[in-house]
Amino acid sequence: MPPTMQFEPIILASHKWSATPHVPLYLFFGGLTAGLLIVAALAEIAGWKFPRFDPLARVAVYLAIPCAGLGGFFISAHLGKPERGILFPFFFTNYSSWMTWGGWILGSVSLIAIAYGALWYFRAGKGPRTVLALLGLIMAPLLAMYTGWLLSGFGTIHGFTPLWSHKYLPVMFLNSGVTTGIACAGLGLLVARYMSLRWPWVGVSLPSQELSNVLRWTTVVLAGAILFEAYELYSFLTHLAKGSPEKGGPYIYHILTKGDLAPWFWWGFVVPGLAIPLILGLVGIFAQARKPIPALAGAYFSLALIGGLVLRFLIVTGGDMVKQPLPFPPWAAVYGIGAEGGPGAKK
Amino acid sequence: MALTTARMKFYIDAKRCIECGGCEVACKNENNVPQGIARIRVVTVNEGQPGETNIAVPCMHCSKAPCVAVCPVDALYHRPDGIVHVNKETCIGCGYCLYACPFGAPQFPKGHAFGARGVMDKCTYCAGGPEEPFSEKERKFYGSNRIAEGKLPMCASICSTKALVAGDAEEVAKVVRARMAARGPGGSAWGWETAYPPGRF
């Protein structure tokens, strides 16, 4: 640990975002909402040619609505003045802040999800549904990536938090949003079909062969997304490990992989969220060729969801643990202070 | 507010601080600082090791303050004299400024809505707040307004070793220059490059 890293005591732990679960949960549900809308839109488009994907779109958009609500609840609840966060169109006036953009993005995506869900509920035609699905397909990636920009937005100012990299975090959160979205939609489809057998009004009555086909496709796409996420994680960790010690990259790499967060990183995210789902996914692709195996698919989807949740907690907590310290001793001051009227000032 | 060309600055001399804590106590007393909040803190670097140093860390009232840039509700703003103020009636207590600030100046007292965090509190440079100067409301929310009285912040006024110097940039720079000239390399103007970098006005 570089000696300057010891200079981190001026922020009280109780003031940090990781002190309560609100912000990590918001990031998770925000990404999940985005992922579900992306899945719904893609399934809706696929449904034009293969109607068996329509139930997946319906389940995904129905799940996106409560997820958006939960995300909004958690981000509002963490505020000192929640009512001002809820009324963001009237209060958020600084458009150089990612939080202002985030308010509008989350608000728009929530409205799209509600309208799209309403079209499904009132059995509107496929045309209007597809229009909203396409709108969702444009806005949802913005929501997932914005959760990364929200944290790494600081990177555009000074880059004090090495784990909140503006280069890696937005893409990683988009990918994780898609991963959790597919997993949640797949799990929802399984549960909805099971419920339909008991309560026909649920209305997801896919024949076994068609369910098997949908699950197989879902499994293939999810496995691809997990593989890509693993690659991103590797690149990100390499970037941190090879970064400048003075900026804290190697320090947070150490904390994540060998230090205080290592058990959560390996046994909360990498093994259950990436490695095991990948194995289950590969097994599922072949095993579910003819008939669905709900237990296998359920475990696969659930673990991918848990991995996404733990990832958000790791990112927020890890970001809180290492903040780039100010240069000390301040040798730079000798060579020009640079303030107005100071020795280094520009006249 | 009267027109002014002053740019108020802090100079923290890492070579002079003796960790007496006088600035912390004076600030608390002067401004009726809420419980759990420290608008200025004396931080020890390399504790127990050769080169152990103490630094008093207030809000530096940066020239181009990152907290002002990230605040979604414009609760943080620069006064014409360069002091960064927070409007507690506008602040939503999101905590974004805490992460943007390199000095850890924003503070969040607990016990407000949903028990998560209150609105932000930080060093006001003893310049009160956006309320009417010397009003009851200003006193209650922000503390004293010594700048309006023509005085300097309490922490700098009370500092027995003059490790903490406050005032107009020109005046503060004179002190810095004099100490640099006397010491040679290692002048120890801590945090200046970050708070007042060149070309940021």
What does the DSSP assignment read for B97-121?
HHHH-TT---B--SSSGGGT----B
Closest chain B C-alpha to A113 CA, distance in angstroms? 25
The terminus-to-terminus CA distance of chain A in angstroms comes to: 40
For chain B, say whether A154 makes contact (Cβ under 8 Å).
Answer: yes
For chain B, say whether A156 makes contact (Cβ under 8 Å).
Answer: no
CB A292 within 8 A of CB A214: no
Q: Per residue in A278-307, pLDDT tens?
A: 999 989 888 877 788 889 999 999 999 999
For residue B43, the surrounding DSSP H or E stretch is strand B41-45
Between A129 and B195, the more confident residue is: A129
Low-confidence ranges of chain A (pLDDT < 50): 1-9, 329-347
Query: Domain residues of chain B, as ranges?
Result: 8-195
Closest to A148 measured CA to CA, from A130, A132, A163, A127: A163
Count of positions (residues) in chain B? 201
Token pair, residue A264, equals 């959560």
d(CA A183, CA A231): 19
Q: What is the pLDDT at residue A14?
A: 66
Q: What is the pLDDT at residue A342?
A: 29
Q: What is the pLDDT at residue B71?
A: 92
CA distances from B108 to A14, B31, B105 (A): 8, 16, 10
Question: Which of A88-97, B116-125, B156-165 is the least confident region?
Answer: B116-125
Q: What is the pLDDT at residue A336?
A: 31
pLDDT of B3 over the 90 cut: no
Enumerate residues 6+ apart whose C-beta is below 8 A from B135: none
Report A:12-71 residues touching B (Cβ under 8 A).
12, 14-17, 20, 22
For chain A, say whether B5 makes contact (Cβ under 8 Å).
Answer: no
Buried b (16+ CB within 10 A) or exposed e, B28-49: bebbebeeebbbbbbbebeeee
d(CA A148, CA A102): 11
Sorted by where each starts, the structural domains of chain A and their CATH numbers stand as: 18-326 (1.20.1630.10)
For chain B, say whether A73 makes contact (Cβ under 8 Å).
Answer: no
Residue keyed to tokens 């804590």: B21
Chain A residues whose beta carbon lies within 8 Å of the beta carbon of residue B70: 94, 96-99, 153-154, 157
Nearest C-alpha in A relative to B57 = A10
Closest to A193 measured CA to CA, from A100, A294, A114: A294
CA distances from B86 to A85, A91, B67, B82, B172 (A): 17, 15, 10, 13, 24
Q: What is the pLDDT at residue A4?
A: 39
Between A154 and B139, the more confident residue is: B139
ipTM for this model: 0.82
| Angle ∠(B97,B102,B108) on CA atoms, nearest 5 | 40
Dmax over CA atoms of chain A, in Å, equals: 80
DSSP state of A160: -
- The topology under which CATH files domain B8-195 is Alpha-Beta Plaits (3.30.70)
Q: What is the pLDDT at residue A335?
A: 33
Judge: A3–B46 Cβ closer than 8 Å, yes or no: yes
CA distances from A240 to A163, A254, A265, B77 (A): 8, 9, 15, 34
pLDDT of B198 over the 50 cut: yes
Q: What is the pLDDT at residue A299?
A: 94
Phi, psi of B8 (to 5 degrees): -75, 135
A49: left (phi over 0), alpha (psi -120 to 50) or beta: alpha
For chain A, say whether B117 makes contact (Cβ under 8 Å).
Answer: yes
| CA B183 to centroid of chain Cα atoms | 26
Q: What is the pLDDT at residue A132?
A: 95
d(CA B151, CA B166): 10
Residue keyed to tokens 């985005």: A34
